[in-house]
């Protein structure tokens, strides 16, 4: 069973979003870009990686639509694109609602069992 709303999302887009998010370096890059655009050089600094290695991560993020890259003279600043993250959040939200409803049903059942007179331990006289 898929949660409500799943059928509206493009599976290929979700696949590329989650594949891009699977790498901790790419998640850290997105976290950095959440505070504003940055160049490859700026993004490479905290990782101790070469610029070509960071560029490969940026290409994965760009293909997934999670970032866009502009042109500013010789710089190619990257910026966060929120739409794929919003789509992934909407997909996950359906599952959160499913589990929340399931837990509420379980809570109701447990409350019902608590209020029923216990039939265990009773003997007929």
30-61 pLDDT per residue, tens: 999 999 999 999 999 999 889 999 999 999 99
pTM: 0.70
Partners of residue 79 on adjacent β-strands? 68
pLDDT for 104: 86
pLDDT for 119: 57
Instruction: Return all residues near 32 (Cβ < 8 A) that are at least 6 apart.
Output: 38, 43, 46
pLDDT for 1: 47
Classified as helix, coil or strand, 52 is helix
| Nearest one of 105, 73, 66 to 57, comparing CA atoms | 66
pLDDT for 30: 96
- Give the residue extent of every domain in the chain: 10-114
**Regarding the domain delimited by 10-114, which CATH topology (the fold level of the hierarchy) does it fall under?**
Arc Repressor Mutant, subunit A (1.10.10)
pLDDT averages per 10-residue partition of the chain, 125 residues: 54 90 96 94 90 95 94 84 91 84 85 74 55
Strand segments, DSSP code E, in the chain are 67-69, 78-80
pLDDT for 26: 97
């Amino acid at each position: 069973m898929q949660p409500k709303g799943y059928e509206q999302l493009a599976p290929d887009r979700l696949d590329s979003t989650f594949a891009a998010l699977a790498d901790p370096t790419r998640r850290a890059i997105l976290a950095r870009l959440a505070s504003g655009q940055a160049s490859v050089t700026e993004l490479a600094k905290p990782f101790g990686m070469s610029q070509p290695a960071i560029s490969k991560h940026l290409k994965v993020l760009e293909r997934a639509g999670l970032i866009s890259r502009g042109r500013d003279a010789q710089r190619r600043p990257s910026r966060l694109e929120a739409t794929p993250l919003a789509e992934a959040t909407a997909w996950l939200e359906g599952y959160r609602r499913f589990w929340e409803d399931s837990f509420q049903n379980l809570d109701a059942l447990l409350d019902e069992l608590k209020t029923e007179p216990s039939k265990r331990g009773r003997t007929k006289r």
